[in-house]
Chains A and B, each alone.
Chain A
Amino acid sequence: MSKQEKKEATLLQNNTYLPEEKQYNTLNLGPTHPATHGIFQNVLKMDGEKIYSGEPTIGYIHRAFEKLAEHRPYYQITPITDRLNYCSSPINNMGWHITMERLLNIETPKKVDYMRVIIMELARIADHLICNSVLAVDTGALTGFLYIFQQREKIYEIYEEICGARLTTNIGRIGGFERDFNDITYKKIERFLQEFPEVLGEFERLVSRNRIFMDRTINVGAITAERALSYGFTGPNLRACGVDYDVRVFSSYSSYEDFDFIIPIGTNGDTYDRYCVRSTEMWESLKMIKYAMDNMPTGSHHADVPAFYLPPKLDVYNSMEALIWHFKIVMGEVDVPKGEIYSPVEGGNGELGFYLISDGGRLPYRLHFRRPCFIYYQAYPEMIQGQLLSDAIVTMSSLNVIAGELDA
């Protein structure tokens, strides 16, 4: 480039220069694209392979969850929360039940908390498995994906044993669980704890120190900690930038303070750090599940809250109050006290918050989901500026953007 051109060129964050506007071409990384896992669109302005700017468009799967929640009684909102981050739907369900319990000041027994931790950590493993294996697929390594999905089937089998569904689980009740885990569930969890470390180790040996993977992901899609905090990053993406914020520690819920786990953080905030943080979190989740299984307390699998927890069928047939409670709960006629609460949980992607305003009736007055994907995806154009197109694809995969949570 001549000196004149260089003066008029713009300096990007990684010290490259791009020429002026009229030399760009526009590429539509459209809503239907094999590498965008989910449907969102990016219109990229590019100079050859280098990206100058990107303009994201979302809303292609807007299902109006917040309006829908204003017309459904409290138990019918659980299937809606399932479909937020559908790769780890038990976490969303537990988050909603914990929000209701905080609103109603219900204290759950320790056994319920430990059961919830097991399910939430299994869901977190499932979510990170998808993200890491699909990140490997986007760099060209398909084998890891097939091995890892076999392990996701094992997690699905555990969910099926507990609640009957594989993916959109609708697990649990306000105050606990509908039944205790049976013996088969415990056996399946133990077998998972024995078999999974081998497979995860194999996947990591294939990918983590692989020359090609490291070249594709180191220094790609980096973001500094200050920009990440300003953009509202949470979860593994923020931890990869070096900030150790984890809702399980800061606003502890469900007896997480009994568990001993490390919060992995990265240094650069690039794709490789995000991969490593998720990988380490999976090992930590395994440790937590093992601890919960070894130290499972005895006690009831639900809190004593007849207004929200279905009474046993024998009581329904024999006692008048149980019959009335059963009717009221099933028809959604239970009134919830007036109040407003914001209740966060640590989802697979970060802080999933439920802001619930109740006006004393049977339906919520306003329910707002603080969805982590929606908030951190705003930073995507800044992260890919000056990078190549294939780096943009890899960055998008490593951010783990789930379309259901993006649009809600």
Chain B
Amino acid sequence: MAEAPASLDGLGYTLTSYDKVVGLARAHSLWPLPFATSCCGIEFMATMGSNYDLGRFGSERLSFSPRQADLLMVMGTIAKKMAPVLRQVYLQMAEPRWVLSVGACACSGGIFDTYSVLQGIDQVIPVDVYVPGCPPRPEQIIQGILQIQELVKNESLMRRKSEVYKELLNKYGIE
């Protein structure tokens, strides 16, 4: 059972810091962008279905437009032809944005060590959580989402303006 925040029982107010409240709100209402390319996309459809419902964790509203999404879930093989498209979708997302790489092909190229497959999406965009598997079970995908939620809850509000983050983006050639 998840615990309710302190202000919901008792006296109705709580003393906390701003970034904890914002982190809590963000974490439980992540709007994912399912960038589903291949077999992992079907496992994602099963995760969104009623048996392993992802909507319980706040990700009920899928956004196919990057401008309105928080979390880019890359599921499936990314070929070299698709890499510029992926990068453009990532650039169109507004801060704060997180990336979840689902499946062996998105993490590292998977079983396709060929001339046409990008060996991992972290060659083109920064990734926050990797979910291995071929395809990963829905429980694993949910575990990945929970880890993203932990990252989101504990993120400092100044992170996106910090030098470390700017350096990370510069490594990928993103301004």
A residues whose Cβ falls under 8 Å from a Cβ of B: 30-34, 38-39, 59-64, 67-68, 79-80, 83, 86-87, 130, 145-146, 149-150, 152-153, 156, 166-168, 403-404, 407
Contact = CB atoms under 8 A, between A and B. Distances in A.
A166 B64 contact: no
B44 to A, nearest CB: 11
A168 B39 contact: yes
Interface string B138-154: 00000000000000000
Given A63-B114, A64-B117, A153 B35 contact: no
A31 B89 CA distance: 11
A30 B134 CA distance: 26
A255 B16 CA distance: 70
Given A64-B112, A67-B114, A79-B111, A168 B134 contact: yes
Given A150-B50, A166-B43, A39 B112 contact: no
B51 A153 contact: yes
A83 B117 CA distance: 14
B108 interface: no
B135 A33 contact: no
A86 B38 contact: yes
A79 B51 CA distance: 26
Contact of A167 (B42, B50, B115): B42
A30 B135 CA distance: 25
Contact of A150 (B49, B77, B81, B117): B49
B137 interface: yes
B116 A62 contact: yes
Nearest to A30: B85
28 contacts: A32-B64, A33-B64, A34-B64, A38-B37, A38-B38, A38-B41, A39-B82, A59-B81, A60-B81, A60-B82, A61-B76, A61-B79, A63-B77, A64-B114, A64-B116, A67-B114, A68-B112, A68-B114, A86-B39, A86-B42, A87-B42, A130-B45, A146-B49, A153-B51, A166-B46, A167-B39, A403-B37, A403-B38
Contacts of A153: 46, 49, 51
Interface residues on B, range: 20 to 34
B38 A32 contact: no
Interface string B45-59: 110011100000000
Contacts of B45: 130, 149
The B interface, classified by DSSP as helix, strand, loop or mixed, is loop
> Which of A31, A61, A149, A168 has the most B CB atoms < 10 Å from its CB?
A61
B46 A152 contact: yes
Contacts of B111: 79-80
Given A61-B76, A79-B111, A149-B46, 4 more contacts: A32-B64, A38-B38, A62-B79, A62-B116
Contact of B77 (A61, A80, A87): A61
Contacts of A34: 64
A149 B51 contact: yes
A210 B49 CA distance: 23
A59 B42 contact: no
Closest 10 CB pairs of A and B: A149-B49, A64-B114, A86-B39, A34-B64, A60-B82, A63-B112, A153-B51, A62-B116, A64-B116, A404-B38
A130 B46 CA distance: 11
Contacts of B50: 146, 149-150
Contacts of A39: 37, 82
B39 to A, nearest CB: 4
Contacts of A407: 79
Contacts of A86: 38-39, 42
A404 B39 contact: yes
A149 B45 CA distance: 8
